[in-house]
A and B are shown apart, each in its own frame.
Chain A
Amino acid sequence: MEARIAGQRVRAALRSAATAGLICSVPVLQGCALSDAPVLFPKGPIALAERDLLFTAFGIMMIVAIPAILLTLLFAWRYRKRTRNTADYAPEWDGSWGIEAVVWLVPAAIVVVIGTIVWDATHRLDPYKPLAADKPAFKVQAVALDWKWLFLYPELGTASVNELAFPADRPLTIEITSDTVMNSLMIPALGGQIYAMAGMRSEMNLIADGPGTFNGRNTMYSGDGFSDQHFKAHAMSEADFAAWKEKVTGAADVLDAKAYVDLHKQSVADPVRYYSSFETDLFSIILRKYAPIVGPYESKAAELICRGAV
């Protein structure tokens, strides 16, 4: 009797759950198609390989996950207590070598398979690994600031804030550091992320499928302006990039040591800014600002940047 009531209760609850689920799924189904999800539909081979790894591992794990979920529900239903129960009952049955072997060995085999894939993938997709391509990589230096990103283009001699541009047909090598707390640079459509840490240089190698504009941001919480610390990354065709280069080289602002000290101050949601040139060796000066071993400053500019004031 009690069991039947319990069964009814479960059924009633299931019904209400289903209703609630339906009601709530409406807004999800309306206008939030996933085609714009950068992780699922990436725009570069690195992100694509990372996503494929995600899908492969997910698929392999379903070998264990789906039986586990289905058997749980099945057993819970089949062996529920009720008045006239035809299901077997074996209160003393507490072990089986066969089952034990399967539940230990099958997951272990899956781990071996995924482990092999991961070993290979981790090496193949190491963010530090230069990408093979016909053309040489386009090098950019990124500096995390509160709360904006500064990009230096050694090849062009220019700099930009909160906007990254690069030729779409060349691999992109980003050298990364921070002149504030720990940050993490990510352009989800192109690939993963890596931390930016003061006094340390990290690196990421990416490549885009073709011209396009992608979102990039700091993913590591860093304080009040964190939510607005994002930027657009433009992979540009040759002509567009030449035009962009023209625009930036013609900019009125120059990122000398003094301008950098100003830029370094905390600010939220900065507009895009361009600098026609930047202080010599700016990136290495920012790196050595926090280096554990310090010596005399190599220049007045270095001293200004490292001390924040003269």
Chain B
Amino acid sequence: MSAATILEEEQKHALHSREFGFWIYLMTDAVIFALLFASYAVLAENSAAGPTSNDLFDLSRTAIETGLLLVSSLTFGMASIALMHDQKGRVVQWLFVTLLLGLAFLAMEMGEFGGMIEKGAGPEVSGFLSAFFTLVGTHGLHVAFGSLGIVVMIGQVLVKGLTAPVRSRLMRLGLFWHFLDIVWIGIFSAVYLPGVL
């Protein structure tokens, strides 16, 4: 066996391991979110002297945020399909659309946070708001890192082309992105919905 083929064999195995490892990483991340959800559930009623969820949450804004994130998952899916068909240009296009949607989501979330802090409902006001900002903020931070990942991957696709490692990374980034979508659905139904009902 030549050095090139043996390297290739090894790479295949390594990428396999990375994909499996990434699933486990996602699981650890899921544990983090689970505990942040639990913290929120414990503290949700503890608004002390500050505003309650009824005073703060705006379902229509949240609905738009949810829409943006759901559609971004769809567009990432389109990028994955393009990847399967080896359409490099398409991959980049769909990734770019996903990135825009992700950034739009982040912008809306920052707007929401900013508005709350301006209204005197920052995280230092009560246990409820601390838990809210930490849970939603951690998700937002993940979306930010995901967006950074998309930027890096657009660069890699353009520079390196659709090589095996690039494909594997794209696949893992996709997992990450869809995972964030699921977490957001959790946030929507465990934080925002009960908060206004």
Contacts and interface: CB of A to CB of B under 8 A. Distances in A.
A binds B: yes
Interface of A: 292-294
A292 B127 CA distance: 8
B142 to A, nearest CB: 29
Contacts of B127: 292
B49 interface: yes
B93 interface: no
Interface string B30-51: 0000000000000001111100
A63 to B, nearest CB: 39
A294 B125 CA distance: 13
Interface of B: 45-49, 126-127
Contacts of A293: 45-48
A296 to B, nearest CB: 11
B88 to A, nearest CB: 56
Nearest to A295: B49
A292 B49 CA distance: 8
Contacts of A294: 48-49
A293 B45 CA distance: 9
A290 B89 CA distance: 60
B121 to A, nearest CB: 16
Contacts of B48: 292-294
A293 B44 CA distance: 12
Q: Is the interface of A mostly helix, strand, loop or mixed?
A: loop
10 contacts: A292-B46, A292-B47, A292-B48, A292-B127, A293-B45, A293-B46, A293-B47, A293-B48, A294-B48, A294-B49
Nearest to A293: B48
B50 to A, nearest CB: 10
A259 to B, nearest CB: 27
A294 B127 CA distance: 13
A197 to B, nearest CB: 14
A293 B51 CA distance: 11
B47 to A, nearest CB: 7
A293 B47 CA distance: 7
B41 to A, nearest CB: 14
A292 B47 CA distance: 7
A294 B52 CA distance: 13
Contacts of B126: 292
Contacts of B45: 292-293
Nearest to A292: B46
Given A292-B46, A294-B48, 10 more contacts: A292-B45, A292-B47, A292-B48, A292-B126, A292-B127, A293-B45, A293-B46, A293-B47, A293-B48, A294-B49
Which 4 interchain pairs have the tightest Cβ spacing?
Answer: A292-B46, A294-B49, A292-B48, A294-B48
Contacts of B46: 292-293
Contacts of A292: 45-48, 126-127
Nearest to B50: A294
A94 to B, nearest CB: 33
A293 B49 CA distance: 6
Nearest to A294: B49
Nearest to A291: B48
A288 to B, nearest CB: 12
B111 to A, nearest CB: 29
A293 B43 CA distance: 12
Nearest to B46: A292
Nearest to B43: A292
A62 to B, nearest CB: 40
A108 to B, nearest CB: 31
A292 B43 CA distance: 9
A287 B45 CA distance: 18
A293 to B, nearest CB: 7
A252 B126 CA distance: 41
B197 to A, nearest CB: 20
A115 B106 CA distance: 53
B46 to A, nearest CB: 4
A171 to B, nearest CB: 34
Nearest to B48: A292
A54 to B, nearest CB: 34
A152 B47 CA distance: 31
Nearest to A290: B48
Nearest to B128: A292
Nearest to B127: A292
A117 B21 CA distance: 45
A274 to B, nearest CB: 36
A292 B45 CA distance: 8
A145 B33 CA distance: 36
A292 B52 CA distance: 12
A225 B149 CA distance: 52
B141 to A, nearest CB: 27
